[in-house]
A and B are shown apart, each in its own frame.
Chain A
Amino acid sequence: MTLEAFLLLAAALFAVGLYGALSQQSIVMLMMGLELMINGLIVAGGAFWYFLAPGTADGQVLVLVAVTVMALEMAMGFAVVTAIFRAREVDMTDDAGDLSG
C-alpha cells in the first residue's frame, strides 16, 4: 500500500468514468460516468491525506466536499433530466443538441 498504488486506482477510476461521460448517449449513463470520475477524486483525496499530510485534516475536508458534490451533481442532474423530459420527452444528449447554443 503506497501513495502510488492509491493514485493509480484513482487514475483508473477517473479514466473509466471519463470514457463513460464522453461516450454514453443516455443522460443517466453519462451521470454514472461523472460519478465514477468523482469517485477517483475521492480516492486521491483520501490517499493524499494519509500518505502526505495526515497531521492536518485538509485531505479529509476535500473528500467530504467531493462526496457532497457527488450528491448535489446527481440531484441537479436528475432534476434537469426531469425538466427536459417533461418539456419534450427527451433523455438522450444527442436529442438535446439545440441546448449547445
Chain B
Amino acid sequence: MAVAFWILAAVSVAAGIAVFVVDSMARATFALLASLLAVGLAFLLIDLQYLGVLIILMMVMEMLIMAVFMIMYMMNPAGLMPMKMVHNNRVAALVAGAVFALLAVGIFLTPWPRRRGEPPADPTHALGLSIMGPKMLVMMVIGVAILATMISTVVLATHRGRYDRYGDDLTRRPPDDPGPGHAHSPQPPVEHHHACGAPNPGEERT
C-alpha cells in the first residue's frame, strides 16, 4: 500500500511538473490528466472508492474538453518547435518553492489531532446520507452554482442566438445555421476562417 502510494504520488507530481515543461500542448494536457488520474487512484487506497472513480470519470471528460480549447487558442499546439510562454518565471518559481517549503514545514510541525472514529463500511453511503441530510445546504449551493455557471457560460460564449437562427420573429424554418443543414438559407453561409468561429470583420459587433 505504502509503495503504491509513493509511486502514485511520484507519478502525480512528475506529471504535474511535465505540464509546464513539455513543448506540445497535447502532451501538456494529457500530462495533467495523468497527474489527476494518479490522485484518483491514490484515493482508492484510502477507502474513497466512489470519489476516486468520480475523479477519474470527471477528469477524463474535463481534459478532453480542455484539448478542444487548447487547439482553438494555442498557436503551435503540436509543439513542432520549442515554445516558451512565461512571464516572471524566476519569481514564480521562487514563490512556488517558498510556498512548498512553508507548507512542508507546517505539515511536519503541526501537532495533528488523533484520529476520531473509523471509516464506515460504505463511505459512499455515508457521503450520500450526509449531502442529503445535514449537508443539504452544500448540495443546494453546488446545484445553484452549476446552474448559474451553465447559464453564464452560454451567455458569454454564444455567438449566434435564436434570433440569428430563426429570424426576428422566430418564424424562419429551417433555421439559418452555418455548416451542414443550411441548404435553404436565404443568404450564403458565413465563411469561418478562424478556428474558433470568430465573426467576419463585416459582422463584428461592438
Direct contact of A and B (CB under 8 A): yes
B5 at the interface (CB under 8 A from A): yes
A16 touches B16 (CB 8 A): yes
A residues bordering B, Cβ < 8 Å?
1, 3-9, 11-20, 22-29, 31-33, 35-36, 39, 42-43, 46-47, 49-58, 60-61, 63-65, 67-68, 70-72, 74-76, 78-83, 85-86, 89, 91-94
B residues bordering A, Cβ < 8 Å?
1-2, 5-6, 9, 12-13, 16-17, 19-20, 25, 28-29, 32, 35-36, 39, 42-43, 45-48, 51, 54-55, 58, 62, 65-66, 69-70, 73-74, 85-89, 91-93, 95-97, 99-100, 103-104, 107-108, 112-113, 115-120, 123, 126-127, 129-131, 135, 138, 142, 145-146, 149-150, 152-154, 156-157, 159, 194, 196, 198-199
Q: What DSSP secondary structure best describes chain B's contact surface?
A: helix
Residue of B nearest to A27 (CB): B73
Residue of A nearest to B141 (CB): A65
Cβ–Cβ < 8 Å partners of B199 in chain A: 86
Cβ–Cβ < 8 Å partners of B154 in chain A: 79
Also in contact, A15 and B65, with CB within 8 A (given A28-B70, A54-B118, A71-B58): no
B73 touches A81 (CB 8 A): yes
Minimum C-beta distance from A32 to chain B (A):
5
Minimum C-beta distance from B154 to chain A (A):
8
Minimum C-beta distance from A96 to chain B (A):
13
Q: How far is the CA of A46 from the CA of B42 in the complex (A)?
A: 10
Minimum C-beta distance from A87 to chain B (A):
9
Q: How far is the CA of A91 from the CA of B91 in the complex (A)?
A: 22
Q: How far is the CA of A31 from the CA of B62 in the complex (A)?
A: 12
